[in-house]
Amino acid sequence: MRCTKTLLPILLCAAALNAPAATYVLTVAGLGGEPDYEQRFTGLATETDKILRTGQTDRVVETLKGADATKAKMEAVLAKFAASARPADAFVLMMIGHGTYDGVEYKFNLPGPDVSAKELATLLNKIPAGRQLVVNMTSCSGGSVEALKKDNRVIVTATKSGTEKNATVFARYWVEALRDPAADVDKNETISALEAFNYAQKKTAEFYTEQKRIATEHPQIDEQQRASAFALLRFGSAAAVVTDPAKRALITKKEEIEGKIDELKYQKSLLAPDDYKKQLTALLLELSKLQDQIDK
């Protein structure tokens, strides 16, 4: 019995370490201020929730909208994620609604107290997930970038600065990207954060051109290489693969290798040609072996 009691925590720890990686997602539809905006923001959050839950067994999805989209409830969900997520996991925060910027501080408008970018950063920094994505689709969202920056975090905003204060349309096209197979440019049945951004950015620009209006929002993204390796949504055979826990673990490893390849390409100019070639060859070989295992 004494031996069993000693081994149990070790076995539980080993099981946790070997568990497939998960993606934790929080979508928040902020304060609309007017019935039209309330309906639009809530509708986009509802659709996002449905898309992310359908056939995606590797996800923990939470959505706050309407009266529930408060600062306190955001803090509670993020604290829960901080307690559950592991370094191998991924985390996504999507913010839909209005934002404000006073030249110094960005705030996300919520029922009751607003939440500032600095406060959000403090909460997000407690989440141990090794890959993070923040998609801020509000007006003035460009003003949140500096506070939210972190080495392992990709940041997407609907505006290029805090001074673009008009209501945005970017959120509409970001959600559209999640359900349109056309967003999957490389046809691998996976929509990456970069593919979703490129799709939504193009559609946003087309909106203003077709409406013959001056564009009042200019979406931006940082860390494009990391974004290209950040899987947002899988469908078809790729979605079927992630229902198998063993295959999900392999996919997580594959994404890690793809991220290393992207990082290596970024550092190419700093390396000796032979060293770069040697490292790239080793990573490509490992990637090929993983893909063979996934395809079996």
pLDDT in tens, 195-223: 999 999 999 999 999 888 899 999 999 98
As a whole number of angstroms, the distance between CA 146 and CA 117 comes to: 9
Under 8 Å between Cβ of 144 and 157: yes
Whole-angstrom CA distances from 128 to 77, 80, 81, 124, 131 are: 14, 12, 9, 9, 9
pLDDT at 12: 38
pLDDT of residue 17 exceeding 60: no
Residue 49 contacts residue 62 (beta carbons within 8 Å): no
CA distance 99 to 26: 17
Q: Is 222 strand, coil or helix?
A: coil
CA 65, CA 74: separation in Å to the nearest integer? Answer: 10
| CA 234/CA 284 separation, integer angstroms | 22
Amino acid letter, residue 143: G
- Whether residue 21 is predicted with pLDDT greater than 50 in this model: the reply is yes
Rounded-to-integer distance, Cα 44 and Cα 39, Å? 9
pLDDT tens-digit series, residues 27-52: 999 999 988 889 889 999 999 999 89
Domain boundaries of the chain, sorted by first residue: 21-234, 244-295
Q: At what angle do helices 71-84 and 117-124 cross, to 10 degrees?
A: 20
Note the pTM of the prediction, 2 decimals.
0.78
Whole-number mean pLDDT of the chain? 86
For residue 8, pLDDT beyond 80: no
pLDDT for 134 equals 98
Give ∠ CA 76-52-148 in degrees, rounded to 5.
Answer: 50
d(CA 280, CA 10): 36
Share of the chain above pLDDT 70, in %: 83
Higher-confidence residue of 237 and 78: namely 78
Give the right CATH number for 21-234 from 3.40.50.1460, 3.30.1360.120, 3.90.226.10, 3.40.50.720. Answer: 3.40.50.1460
pLDDT, tens digit, 9 for 90 and up, residues 92-112: 999 999 999 999 999 999 999
- Kindly give, in sequence order, each residue whose CB lies less than 8 Å from that of residue 72, ignoring residues fewer than 6 positions away: 112
Q: Would you say residue 68 has pLDDT above 70?
A: yes
Q: How confident is the model at residue 180 (pLDDT cuts 50, 70, 90)?
A: confident
